Amino acid sequence: MADFPLFIKMDGRKVMVIGGGSVALRKIRILTDYGADIRIISREVRDELKMLAEAGRLEWQKENLTKKHLSELDEAFLVICASNDETVNAMAADYCQKRHILVDCAKPGENSDCVFPSVVRRGNVVIGISTSGGVPALTRHLREKIEAVMPEWYGDFERALRDKRRQLKQSDLSQAERRQSLRQWIAEEEKIREKGREPYENRNKKEPSGYGTDGDGSKGH
């Protein structure tokens, strides 16, 4: 059965990451863009994670997870099991599931309540792509196709559209008229931006696209 797509506000939510290797790094790169409060539990971590910790963007607990420390996971909204030790991952996942704490296990064959999709992001416009863990290569292919047809200016486009919608809500138009006006504005504005696509993109910094576990060849949606 396919997994259910759900977007969650992560700003300020506690995320504990068990492990400090490449899988942990990929997931943390995504989470830092969405405001999560991240703690790594691992004696050793990648240099990039050390730099993030030094910059105050996450907390680094410099010890490996053991049975006596499991209760620390009670603070978490989400626990990511990305240790190289499968026994540790299984122990943490079992603990979390018994306490209804969301858990994402990075390696195939481990139990997860949720997994990271492959993500395309343009400002507040976010698209998550999933094959429910079945075919990661297909999610990468779909992500690349979407990135190719979704210009970088869609982030600014969404912000402009939000302002337009606010203006229309303050007008005397009926709901049906506002809806029609907004659809017309979207179509016309999109055509204008498409005509100036290349110079517009060159003037703007590229928004990050996230690479969830389903997009990097390991387990994912």
- One DSSP character per residue, 69-95 reads GGGGGGG-SEEEE--S-HHHHHHHHHH
Both 24 and 101 in a single domain? yes
0.85 exceeded by pTM = no
CA neighbor of 24 nearest in space, from 44, 54, 2: 44
Both 87 and 23 in a single domain? yes
Q: How many domains does the chain have?
A: 2
21 within domain boundaries? yes
Q: For the chain, what is the largest distance between any 2 Cα atoms, rounded to a whole number of angstroms?
A: 64
Q: Which domain holds residue 57?
A: 14-114
Distance CA 10, CA 97 (A): 20
Q: Are 185 and 164 in contact (CB under 8 A)?
A: yes
* Cβ-proximal residues to 132 (8 Å cutoff; 6+ apart), any chain: 1, 2, 3, 221
Stretches where the chain sits below pLDDT 50 are 198-208, 216-221
Both 43 and 105 in a single domain? yes
Q: What is the pLDDT of residue 112?
A: 86
Q: pLDDT per residue over 14-56, tens digit each? A: 999 999 999 999 999 999 999 999 999 999 999 999 999 999 9
19 within domain boundaries? yes
Q: What is the pLDDT of residue 51?
A: 97
